[in-house]
Amino acid sequence: MSIPINLEGRVILVCGVGKGGIGGPTARIISAAGATVVAVDKTQQLLDPTIADIKAAGGRCHGIVADLMDPAQTDPIVATAVERFGRLDGVANVAGGTRADEWMRLEETPLSSFHASLNLNFEYTFRICRDAARYMIKNNIRGSLVNVGSISSLNSAPYHGPYGAAKAAMSALTRTMAIEWQPYGIRTNTVHPGAVPTERTKSFGSDPSKNAGMPQVVRTAPEAVGHAIAFFLSDLASGITGQNLVVDSGLSANYCSGAINVDSLPKKS
């Protein structure tokens, strides 16, 4: 006997579905579990490969081009998903991450970089979850919302402090969502990946000041994160809300925030 993750009949919004990241495999796993996927990314070029993969496997997927950092572009997303497929049952907010140019000491960090980190890794997840919950409450849908954090939010985040703080704020707000929306049957959880080789993190190269570039760090496959997200979206997780699940192959248990040895890093004189 097996117990499958079954998302048949569900419509799931996945934000950030680029094929070379965590979101592309996540969207494919959610589709393979039976859900219709509404995929969001910055450009049609980023959407197309994941949409093509899902359709080639016999799944259903609709793409929405939107910059998640721009409220004017995110405001219509939930309504568009509902208009296209008649309902919305779940959300996976995967889009996020550090930019290559934001890895620096806190005393050198410009406010513009701080704000950009907070918008991409905290604010937009609030806007999308709020809009989805409004719809679910109004339509009596017992949905599931999953936000993607980071092990950088669990302890310290040397050289990427605003990112770690943004993800910590996001998981704190996700717990509050769980309590406020529990009476409506809406569950909200956070999945915290460790070091996942994606096109973005691989582009950082081997610079030791960028966590993901460290060769000795234990890696986790994007699909492992996608499986955890699909689990939270499914009824197998019906008793779980307001929780944090770390998917890092043991990295944080060993190294806390990711193994940066600050003594080995360059300092400005």
Ligand X SMILES: NC(=O)c1ccc[n+]([C@@H]2O[C@H](COP(=O)([O-])OP(=O)(O)OC[C@H]3O[C@@H](n4cnc5c(N)ncnc54)[C@H](O)[C@@H]3O)[C@@H](O)[C@H]2O)c1
Binding footprint of ligand X on the chain (CB under 6 A)? 16-18, 20-23, 41-42, 46, 67-69, 94-97, 120, 148, 150, 193, 195-196, 198-201, 212
Q: How far apart are CA 236 and CA 177, in angstroms?
A: 20
Q: Return the number of the residue (141 or 198) whose C-beta is nearest ligand X.
A: 198
Q: Return the number of the residue (38 or 95) whose C-beta is nearest ligand X.
A: 95
Q: Return the number of the residue (21 or 90) whose C-beta is nearest ligand X.
A: 21
Q: What is the layout of strands, in order, in the sheet containing 11-15?
A: 61-65, 36-41, 11-15, 90-93, 144-148, 187-193, 244-247
Q: Return the number of the residue (34 or 197) whose C-beta is nearest ligand X.
A: 197
Q: In angstroms, what is the minimal distance from the CB of 90 to ligand X?
A: 17
CB-CB contact of 35 with 58 (8 Å): no
Q: Return the number of the residue (144 or 201) whose C-beta is nearest ligand X.
A: 201
Q: Is residue 8 helix, strand or coil?
A: coil
Please return the burial class of 263, using the count of CB atoms within 10 Å of its CB with bins 0-12, 13-18 and 19+. Answer: exposed
Q: In angstroms, what is the minimal distance from the CB of 112 to ligand X?
A: 15
Q: In angstroms, what is the minimal distance from the CB of 37 to ligand X?
A: 14
Q: Which residues contact 191 (CB under 8 A, 6 or more apart)?
A: 146, 147, 148, 149, 225, 228, 229, 232, 244, 245, 247
Q: In angstroms, what is the minimal distance from the CB of 47 to ligand X?
A: 9
Q: In angstroms, what is the minimal distance from the CB of 51 to ligand X?
A: 12
